[in-house]
Amino acid sequence: MMLVMDSFSPDRTGRAGRPTAQQAQARHAQLLDTALDMFLDKGFELTTMEGIAAAVGMTKRTIYARYPEKAALFLAAVSRAIERTATRPDAMRAVESDDLEATLIALARLRIADLSTPEGVRLRRIVTTESYRFPEILMLSYDHGARPVADYLVDLLRRHDSAGAVCVARPDMAASLFLTMVLGGPVRLIASPQAMSAAEIDDWVQAAVRLFLNGVRRT
């Protein structure tokens, strides 16, 4: 009877088989997560490719084959963190209702929650400490993190403007101002010892939403 070996079973020469695509993807994610932790712990300058390879249990050759320089690995690790803290469109649609105030509060809470995860805190810290060296991570963070939320808000405000509930001549500007108002305090303090409590965040969000709506509601 023939035996069927899995992808990690040794072949007749004793060598391990090729990992599956899913296993390779998991190992790559582990590499990026480990690299981000080390960049955050030691800083970009003191983190080495050799140290990352040892920590993740890979050969330097394997890592260099995919990332020929440390900067490329750093940007890939940060990009993964940004993607993992992005607020998904389906999650935003799920909290939308006919009540604009309730919807805006729910959207603000959702975005703050995504940025307050351990991954979000790490990302905030790495952007703060390394953006002077890699200014492109600021744009990456906006394009893949903030922009989808802003785009959703633009569409939401346009629809409510068309329905006559609000008067918003520049939905893009209004969306940007709204995000600054609701996220500015809570997110700025996320990675600091003065981080807001859940109750303080809720008070902030509700006050910011009311202030925003007082400026755009039709009188």
The predicted-structure confidence for 120-163, as pLDDT tens digits, reads as follows 888 888 988 899 999 999 999 999 999 999 999 999 999 999 99
**Which residues have CB under 8 Å from 148's CB, separation 6+?**
86, 87, 89
CATH 1.10.1270.20 holds for 85-216 = no
Q: How many CB atoms lie within 10 A of CB 64?
A: 15
The domain limits of the chain are 21-83, 85-216
What Å distances lie between residue 151 and 44, 106, 154, CA to CA?
33, 16, 5
Q: What is the mean pLDDT of residues 58-84?
A: 94
Give the chain's mean pLDDT.
Answer: 89
What Å distances lie between residue 126 and 86, 110, 133, 191, 197, CA to CA?
16, 22, 11, 10, 22
What confidence score (pLDDT) does residue 176 get?
96
Which of the four CATH numbers 1.10.10.60, 3.20.20.140, 1.10.20.10, 3.40.50.1820 does domain 21-83 have?
1.10.10.60
Residue 118 scores a pLDDT above 90: no
Show contacts of 56-64: CB within 8 Å, 24+ apart.
56/30, 56/31, 58/27, 58/31, 63/31
Q: What is the model's pTM?
A: 0.82
